[in-house]
């Protein structure tokens, strides 16, 4: 069975500081993808970053990077230089490539403090 765990229900970070949002996953599939989404208070789901299980390097997209530790089955999101607009819910998700399903964690609510 596939499972995503986000253990931080809420996080606070000072503006301009970096923050790490934790995500661990469980799968027996050798080939899978890991995704992070942002959900601001307006409700839409915004795709942030992707990491493939065979990718050798950690993914980066602007201020977002994914700290991928395959042996530990973790895929933490790092946001550098936090901005007030980063305040939102963040969801980690996984897709095992033997199927079409995406599995989501319960999310982390991030608040950026000015």
Partner 1 sequence: NAGVTQTPKFQVLKTGQSMTLQCAQDMNHNSMYWYRQDPGMGLRLIYYSASEGTTDKGEVPNGYNVSRLNKREFSLRLESAAPSQTSVYFCASSEDGTGTYEQYFGPGTRLTVT
Least distance from partner 1 to the Cβ atom of residue 45, Å: 4
- Work out whether 43 is an interface residue with partner 1 (CB under 8 A): yes
Q: By CB under 8 A, is residue 97 in contact with partner 1?
A: yes
Distance in angstroms (rounded) separating the CA atoms of residues 103 and 10: 20
Residue 105 to residue 89: CA distance in whole angstroms: 11
Determine if 90 is a binding residue for partner 1 (CB under 8 A). Answer: no
CA 22 to chain centre: 7
Question: Should residue 107 be labelled a site residue for partner 1 when binding is judged by CB under 8 A?
Answer: yes
Going by their DSSP bridges, the two strands 10-14 and 102-104 should be labelled as unpaired
Pairwise CA distance, residues 82 & 92, whole Å: 18
Q: Take residue 84 and report the two structure tokens written for it.
A: 């007030």
List 41, 71, 100, 114, residue binding partner 1 (CB under 8 A): 100
Judged by CB under 8 A, the residue of 91, 94, 110, 112 near partner 1 is 91
Are 59 and 65 contacting, i.e. CB atoms less than 8 angstroms apart?
yes
Asked if 106 touches partner 1 (CB under 8 A), the answer is: yes
Residue 82 Cβ vs partner 1, minimum distance, rounded to whole Å: 23
Residue ranges in contact with partner 1 by CB under 8 A:
6, 9, 31, 33, 35, 43-45, 47, 50, 52, 91, 93, 95, 97, 100-107
């Amino acid at each position: 069975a596939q499972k995503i765990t986000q253990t931080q229900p809420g996080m606070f970070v000072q503006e301009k500081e970096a923050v790490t949002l934790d995500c661990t996953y469980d799968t027996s599939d050798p080939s899978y993808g890991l995704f992070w989404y942002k959900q601001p208070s307006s409700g839409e789901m915004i795709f942030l970053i992707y990491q493939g299980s065979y990718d050798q390097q950690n993914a980066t997209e602007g201020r977002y990077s994914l700290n991928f530790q395959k042996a530990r089955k973790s895929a933490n999101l790092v946001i550098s230089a936090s901005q007030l607009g980063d305040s939102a819910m963040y969801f980690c998700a996984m897709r095992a490539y033997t199927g079409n399903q995406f599995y989501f964690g319960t999310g982390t609510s991030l608040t950026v403090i000015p």
